[in-house]
Amino acid sequence: MKTMLLALLVFVLFASAPSIQAQSVSSQAGPAGDLVAKVTKVKGLKLASSSALQAPSDEVCLSTFGLPCYSPQQMQTAYGLTPLLQAGYDGKGQTIVIVDSFGTPTILADLQTFDATYGLPDPPSFKVLSPLGTVPFDPTNAVQVNWAFETTLDVEWAHAMAPGANIVLLTSPVAETEGVVGMPEFLALEKYALENKLGKIISQSWGATENTLLDPAGQQVFAEFEKLYRRAAREDVTVLASAGDSGSSNVDANNNTYAFPTVIFPASSPWVTAVGGTSLYAEPSGKYQFEIVWNDHYIGGGGGGVSQQFAEPGYQYSLPASVQTELNNHRGIPDVSYNADPNTAILVYESFLGPSNSGFYFIGGTSEGSPQWAGIIADGNQLAGHPLGFLNPKLYAIGQGSGLFHDITFGSNAYNGFNGVPGYAATPGWDLATGWGTPDLFELLCEMAGR
């Protein structure tokens, strides 16, 4: 499965006990521990108690696990969103549309627990719509559990960046994998969103390796999605997609890695804003320190590279000659980036695996970027007083030397570089590892909103 949960980190936290005690996956009681380990690439499971009334603080995570667990407030501060939220620009009046397979039966209760723990208000409106039908949730099914974590991440963290925005979750009864599988259903859901005017922002934290769609059936998928995305642009709907968790290395339909750099779709669409991945280092206060390209040879890395399907869009023509040589007249991604490293993690709360396995989980991957950018754009739409719509021409016009992005200049996305697949290095300005970098949101949104 190509969902961004390839990078889900390895811990579950039950936060209420005064001390936290570690327990390995092998000793996790019952089949749920084995299931979580199987579907989320779990490295180890750490629990404190059966209660989840309080998430562990960043300081507790650092002292106990050796890595941070950034709260919504820390992420808001690190990326410069806090002043806008304090001024009342929290996405009020906007609606974020999230598209996933299956969903999770506990998402409403889990979001309420997440909100209560972090002092966030519940969204004004939260709807789960399944116009294509549903299937019963099976907590022993690895595929469904993987998508349940994906859905939880998307909903909780889109809301964390835009606490005043409405959320519509659209679920498919079919799992998207590689190639065309699951894509027609996602296309139908997004058509439904546009036809019913559900919202002005669509988040897609999933994708398939572009090369698995180069056959005639895949070409039809490309054509239909591109038609949809062009319509979204005409209707001032922002469409976002995660750029992938395998750096420049992606797999075919048989889970074999291509021997050359590849990218994923829909992030590679010229009509979509692709979100890559970084490792964010921030102080406990949330104060930004620095970022590098997310790349852990054993967990994952931020997706990026050159499309083999799509020609270079006009908004990338202004990129310098050195970049043009790399692009060779093709679309390059990502456009922007966001924290994605499970070692600079955020937390999600879930209860779909039952009371004994409910809790706060460390999580990572570029899946956290698309929904958080969706929340950010909801705030920006409110600030502007109108939808920002198709972002890419604006982002590239702002671009180089504007000071509105944290320019990532260290690292590369040659994930599992020992497999011989070359990656792309971060450089000053736009690059194929992190795009323009990550946002300084107060300045960026004010510029995009014309304020």
pLDDT band with cut points at 50, 70 and 90 for residue 104: very high
pLDDT band with cut points at 50, 70 and 90 for residue 418: low
Give me the count of residues in the chain.
451
Instruction: Report the percentage of the chain scoring pLDDT > 90.
Output: 71
Query: What pLDDT, on the 0 to 100 scale, is given for residue 229?
Result: 98
Would you say residue 40 has pLDDT above 90? Answer: no
pLDDT tens for 105-132 read 999 999 999 999 999 999 999 999 999 9
By DSSP bridging, strand 238-242 and strand 69-70 are unpaired
User: What are φ and ψ of residue 280, in 5° steps?
Assistant: -95, 130
Catalytic residues, by residue number, are: 150, 154, 367
Would you say residue 392 has pLDDT above 90? Answer: yes
* Mean pLDDT across the chain: 88
Query: What pLDDT, on the 0 to 100 scale, is given for residue 36?
Result: 60
User: What are φ and ψ of residue 70, in 5° steps?
Assistant: -65, 135
Contact 239, 404 (CB under 8 A): no
Determine the Cα–Cα distance for residues 143 and 16; give it in Å rounded to an integer: 30
Query: What pLDDT, on the 0 to 100 scale, is given for residue 44?
Result: 29
Query: What pLDDT, on the 0 to 100 scale, is given for residue 43?
Result: 25
Would you say residue 343 has pLDDT above 80? Answer: yes
**What fold is seen in the domain 69-346+365-449?**
Rossmann fold (3.40.50)
Q: How large is the average pLDDT for residues 415-425? A: 82
Query: What pLDDT, on the 0 to 100 scale, is given for residue 12?
Result: 42
Q: What is the DSSP string of 268-309?
A: T-TTSEEEEEEEEEE-TT--EEEEEE-EETTTEE---EEEEE
Taking the model in full, what pTM does it have? Answer: 0.92
CB atoms < 10 A from the CB of 378, how many? 33
Instruction: Report the percentage of the chain scoring pLDDT > 70.
Output: 88
Which one-letter amino acid corresponds to residue 241? A
Q: Which tops the pLDDT comparison, 16 or 144?
A: 144
pLDDT band with cut points at 50, 70 and 90 for residue 11: very low
